């Protein structure tokens, strides 16, 4: 636990965040649980587990200033809803739920073991707004009225290509909702070119593409911000076989 705490403290200091003790404790407990359960339920790879705090929690934390900049009048995100599609171990959704205590977060994944882990993690943390877990396939649940066009923000980390991720996620967003996509610079450029036509079909507009680590010469990660302009056509998302072909 001491080693994890040292890594987490260094990461938070490096990010420039000023965290209350409760949020620091929640992040540490979460990291400890991922370390404990990591390979038992295939949450993350062995390599990823060793660098979990710096790489994966770090990637989630990199979204914080981006989100704050998009909502300067409501930096706590009180009353806002976020859905994290293909959340896996809870990244970045669960970390964002810890850091934005007033934000209502839903964590969606089709893997029962991962959802069970998330329920354990949530039960071991202190909350103002307790995150909700959703078990199911994103392309199916998006057609249910209680989820469709319900969310102000959406995230998806390492879910699939930009093109596939856009189709799976856009129907969950309200008109003028924002989607934050994390990708390496090389992948983002090529995958965006493949998604130009789909952006139009889904009524999406690219707002900006930002460096996740602007002061780093090592991690060339980007955050793509996409805004949904109006309602998504009813046929989207399509069946999985149609999406990937």
Token output for 156:
């998806």
**Under 8 Å CB-to-CB from 189, ≥6 apart: which residues?**
none
Distance CA(217)–CA(44), nearest Å, equals: 25
Quick one: which of 34, 24, 217, 26 has its CA closest to 131? 26
In the chain, the number of structural domains is 1
d(CA 166, CA 226): 9
Residue 245: the pLDDT is: 83
| Residue span of the structural domain in which 131 resides | 2-244
Which residue matches tokens 């070119």? 193
Confidence at residue 90, expressed as pLDDT on a 0 to 100 scale: 95
CA distance 107 to 134: 6
Strands 132-135 and 104-109: parallel
What is the domain-level CATH number for residue 232?
3.40.50.150
Q: How far is CA 133 from CA 45, 105, 152, in A?
A: 22, 9, 17
Distance CA 186, CA 183 (A): 8
H-only helix segments in 129-177: 138-141, 162-169
Altogether, the residues listed in the chain come to a count of 245
pLDDT of residue 76: 82
Q: H helices of the chain, where?
A: 2-15, 21-37, 46-50, 58-61, 63-70, 93-99, 112-123, 138-141, 162-169, 185-193, 196-201, 240-244
Alpha-carbon 150 to chain mean position: 16
pLDDT, tens digit only, all 245 positions of the chain: 688 899 999 999 988 889 999 999 999 999 999 988 887 787 876 656 568 888 889 999 999 999 998 988 888 889 999 999 999 999 999 999 999 999 999 999 999 999 999 999 999 999 999 999 999 999 999 999 999 999 999 999 878 899 999 999 999 999 999 999 988 888 888 898 899 999 999 999 999 888 887 665 456 788 999 999 999 999 999 999 999 98
Measured torsion, CA atoms of residues 95, 105, 156, 138, in degrees rounded to the nearest 10: 140
What pLDDT does 24 receive?
95
CB-CB contact of 129 with 104 (8 Å): yes
């Amino acid at each position: 636990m001491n080693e994890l705490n040292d890594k987490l403290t260094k990461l938070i200091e490096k990010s420039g965040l000023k965290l209350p003790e409760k949020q620091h404790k929640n992040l540490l407990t979460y990291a400890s649980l991922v370390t404990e359960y990591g390979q038992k339920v295939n949450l993350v790879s062995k390599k990823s587990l060793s660098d979990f705090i710096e790489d994966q929690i770090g990637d989630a934390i990199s979204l914080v200033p981006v989100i704050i900049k998009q909502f300067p009048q409501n930096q706590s995100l009180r009353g806002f809803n976020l859905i994290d599609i293909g959340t896996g171990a809870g990244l970045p959704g669960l970390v964002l739920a810890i850091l934005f205590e007033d934000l209502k977060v839903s964590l969606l994944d089709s893997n029962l073991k991962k959802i069970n882990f998330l329920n354990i993690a949530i039960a071991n943390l202190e909350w103002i707004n307790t995150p909700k877990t959703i078990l199911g396939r994103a392309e199916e649940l998006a057609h249910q009225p209680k989820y469709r066009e319900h969310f102000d923000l959406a995230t998806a980390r390492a879910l699939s290509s930009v093109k596939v991720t856009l189709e799976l996620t856009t129907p969950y967003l309200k008109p003028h909702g924002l989607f934050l996509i994390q990708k390496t610079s090389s992948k983002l450029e090529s995958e965006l070119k493949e998604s130009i036509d789909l952006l139009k079909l889904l009524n999406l507009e690219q707002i900006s593409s930002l460096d996740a680590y602007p002061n780093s010469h090592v991690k060339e990660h980007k955050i793509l911000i996409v805004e949904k302009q109006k309602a998504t056509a009813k046929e989207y998302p399509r069946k999985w076989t149609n999406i990937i072909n």
